[in-house]
């Protein structure tokens, strides 16, 4: 078997044309998923069963099913319902990109909310007692004590999830989206050269991941500045 | 004197507290007048911490009444907050907010609870850091300070709220021996200024020189209550005698 470097040189620029879409999927569903995760977290820790329970069910459903299945259900399944086609969300759900973003958002939100909850549970009880003793309200304690400390504690696991989300975006190619993976699959179908194309694609994802790792490393060092004895 | 001045600042009447089946406090009756300094001692698990934690509602009592400066502690958030504004607390484990600099630790509650401006809160914070003799640490994070320094910051943080009462829950128990005195010095100064204090501590030297009354607790009860000379030189109760002989042997 020969390895065709010319083919790689030709297809790399084509695959890189999909970067925009891959990034769009990552950034939008990452941001919306984070907001969803915070809402789910607040429901989980509210201490009220009628908020906690639905959040738990939601998390169970979205962690308990493959994301590919979730994408298919949203893309192929939802338009079956007339109510969906008549709703104001139809312009989004009509487009495969909208469906992919929705699926990725709903999925990452479930995982990230549990990651954040881990951070919240890691905040020392004594600190919250000190807050109470100083007269801070429950909301003030959450905003000024729990949230900043939990964020730092949750960051390593959160960065893991963002990297995982980056690779989940490749699944969008299964519903006709021309992200990097989608373009790669088209090229493979034309050239019948899966090794060259998919290996170069893998390397592109690795470079991306490397960038994300570095970015989170910087954030981690910044948020962890108060954990080092040396000023 | 007016009625208000005669009234005890802290009144605990028939207070009991259960953790599940276990009764941590049994019918506690205690009155503390303004300016009084009380030392609470006793074996571990005797309910000392639980008792003072009931005073600012870190623990909820199950029976009896706790009245702080005329405000009875109930389930009402309004009452709890009113009491917490008047009561400062210092913990064994300091509990400084690790993600804030020292001066920010002192400013936070002033701004959020007392609604004081940032500039004024900063001025007050620096005054109290001067008082506990570490103004030069204002910009550092808690982890960069020694245990003794952290505990002095914790005292200053509570004082910034201008409390009527200070509760100390074993403030020197987590400290290395060489750091205990710097914290006790601050507490002695505070006592001299007339602060109403309840200190759970085993620093018997401190109790002897500062306390108006020493309270000995065992198994959730107040067993003995006396002035320090009386308490140390002539304890009445067998359990008190046994406890004192155990901690004063060396």
Residues A63-122 have pLDDT tens digits of 999 999 999 999 998 878 888 888 888 888 888 999 999 999 999 999 999 999 999 999
Is residue B213 within 8 A of residue B38, CB to CB? The reply is yes
What pLDDT, in 10s, does the model give residues B74-126?
888 777 888 898 999 999 999 999 999 999 999 999 999 999 999 999 999 99
Helices in chain A by DSSP H: which ranges? 5-16, 19-44, 49-63, 67-72, 82-86, 90-93, 96-121, 125-133, 138-141, 147-168, 180-191, 194-223
Given this model, what pLDDT does residue A1 score?
A: 57
Chain B residues in contact with A137 by the CB 8 A cut-off are: 81
Which stretch of DSSP H or E encloses residue B24? strand B22-32
Within the 125-154 window of chain A, which residues sit less than 8 Å (CB to CB) from chain B? 126-127, 129-137, 140, 144-145, 148-149, 152
Given this model, what pLDDT does residue A131 score?
A: 96
Q: Is the pLDDT of residue A143 over 70?
A: yes
**Which of the 8 DSSP states describes residue B161?**
T
Q: Is the pLDDT of residue A155 over 80?
A: yes
- Name the residue among A168, A161, A149 with its Cα closest to residue A216: A161
Rounded Cα–Cα distance for residues A38 and A115 (Å)? 10
Is residue B204 within 8 A of residue B180, CB to CB? The reply is no
What pLDDT, in 10s, does the model give residues A195-216?
888 999 999 999 999 999 999 9
What pLDDT, in 10s, does the model give residues A9-29?
888 888 888 999 999 999 999
Q: Which two tokens stand for residue B88?
A: 């400062």
Q: Is the pLDDT of residue A231 over 60?
A: no
Residue B175 CA to its chain's centroid (Å): 16
Is residue B196 within 8 A of residue B32, CB to CB? The reply is yes
Percent of chain B surpassing pLDDT 70:
97
User: What does the pLDDT profile of chain B (250 residues) look like in tens digits?
Assistant: 445 566 899 999 999 999 999 999 999 999 999 999 999 999 998 999 999 999 999 999 999 999 998 888 888 877 788 889 899 999 999 999 999 999 999 999 999 999 999 999 999 999 999 999 999 999 999 999 999 999 999 999 999 999 999 999 999 999 999 999 999 999 999 999 999 999 999 999 999 999 999 999 999 999 999 999 999 999 999 999 999 988 877 6
Q: Is the pLDDT of residue A39 over 90?
A: yes
Instruction: Establish if A91 touches chain B: CB-CB under 8 angstroms.
Output: no
Which stretch of DSSP H or E encloses residue B210? helix B204-210
Pairing of strands B71-72, B213-218: unpaired
**ipTM (interface predicted TM):** 0.92
Instruction: Establish if B173 touches chain A: CB-CB under 8 angstroms.
Output: no
Within the 202-231 window of chain A, which residues sit less than 8 Å (CB to CB) from chain B? 225-231
Which stretch of DSSP H or E encloses residue B232? helix B228-233
Contacts of B136 (CB under 8 A, 6+ apart): none
Given this model, what pLDDT does residue B1 score?
A: 44
Q: Which two tokens stand for residue A109?
A: 């939100």
Chain B contact probe: residue of A126, A133, A145 with most B CBs at under 10 A? A133
Sheet with B10-19: strands ordered across: B22-32, B10-19, B63-68, B71-72
Q: Which two tokens stand for residue B201?
A: 């501590």
Is A132 in contact with B88 (Cβ distance < 8 A)?
no
């Amino acid at each position: 078997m020969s390895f065709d470097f010319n083919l790689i040189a030709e297809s790399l620029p084509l695959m890189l044309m999909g970067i925009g879409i891959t990034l769009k999927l990552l950034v939008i569903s990452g941001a919306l998923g984070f907001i969803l995760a915070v809402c789910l977290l607040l429901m989980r820790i509210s201490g009220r069963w009628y908020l906690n329970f639905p959040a738990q069910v939601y998390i169970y459903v979205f962690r308990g099913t493959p994301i590919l299945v979730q994408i298919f259900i949203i893309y192929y399944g939802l338009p079956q319902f007339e109510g969906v086609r008549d709703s104001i969300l139809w312009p989004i759900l009509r487009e495969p990109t909208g469906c992919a973003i929705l699926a990725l958002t709903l999925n990452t939100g479930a995982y990230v909310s549990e990651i954040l909850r881990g951070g919240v549970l890691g905040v020392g009880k004594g600190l919250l007692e000190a807050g109470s003793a100083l007269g801070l309200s429950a909301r003030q304690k959450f905003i000024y004590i729990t949230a900043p400390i939990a964020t730092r504690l949750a960051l390593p696991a959160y960065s893991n999830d963002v990297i995982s989300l980056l690779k989940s975006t490749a699944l969008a190619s299964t519903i006709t989206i021309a992200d990097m993976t989608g373009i790669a699959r088209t090229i493979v179908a034309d050239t019948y050269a899966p090794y060259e194309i998919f290996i170069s694609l893998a390397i592109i994802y690795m470079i991306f991941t490397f960038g994300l790792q570095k970015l989170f490393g910087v954030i981690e060092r910044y948020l962890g500045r108060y954990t080092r004895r040396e000023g | 004197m007016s009625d208000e001045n005669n009234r005890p600042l802290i009144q605990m009447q028939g207070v009991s507290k259960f953790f599940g089946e276990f009764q941590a406090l049994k019918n506690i009756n205690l009155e503390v007048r303004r300016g009084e300094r009380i030392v609470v001692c006793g074996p571990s698990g005797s309910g000392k911490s639980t008792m003072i934690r009931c005073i600012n509602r870190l623990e909820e009592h199950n029976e009896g009444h706790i009245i702080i400066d005329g405000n009875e502690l109930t389930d009402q958030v309004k009452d709890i907050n009113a009491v917490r504004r008047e009561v400062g607390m210092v913990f064994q484990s300091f509990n400084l907010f690790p993600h804030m600099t020292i001066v920010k630790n002192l400013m936070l509650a002033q701004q959020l609870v007392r609604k004081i401006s940032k500039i004024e809160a900063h001025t007050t914070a620096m005054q109290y850091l001067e008082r506990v003799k570490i103004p030069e640490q204002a910009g550092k994070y808690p982890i960069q300070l020694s245990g003794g320094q952290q505990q002095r910051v914790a005292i200053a943080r509570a004082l910034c709220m201008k409390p009527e009462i200070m509760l100390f829950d074993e403030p020197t128990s987590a400290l290395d021996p060489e750091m205990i005195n710097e914290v006790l010095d601050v507490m002695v100064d505070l006592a001299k200024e007339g602060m109403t204090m309840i200190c759970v501590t085993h620093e018997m030297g401190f109790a002897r020189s500062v306390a108006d009354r020493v309270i000995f607790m065992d198994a959730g009860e107040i067993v003995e209550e006396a002035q320090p000379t009386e308490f140390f030189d002539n304890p009445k109760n067998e359990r008190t005698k046994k406890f004192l002989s155990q901690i004063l042997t060396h």
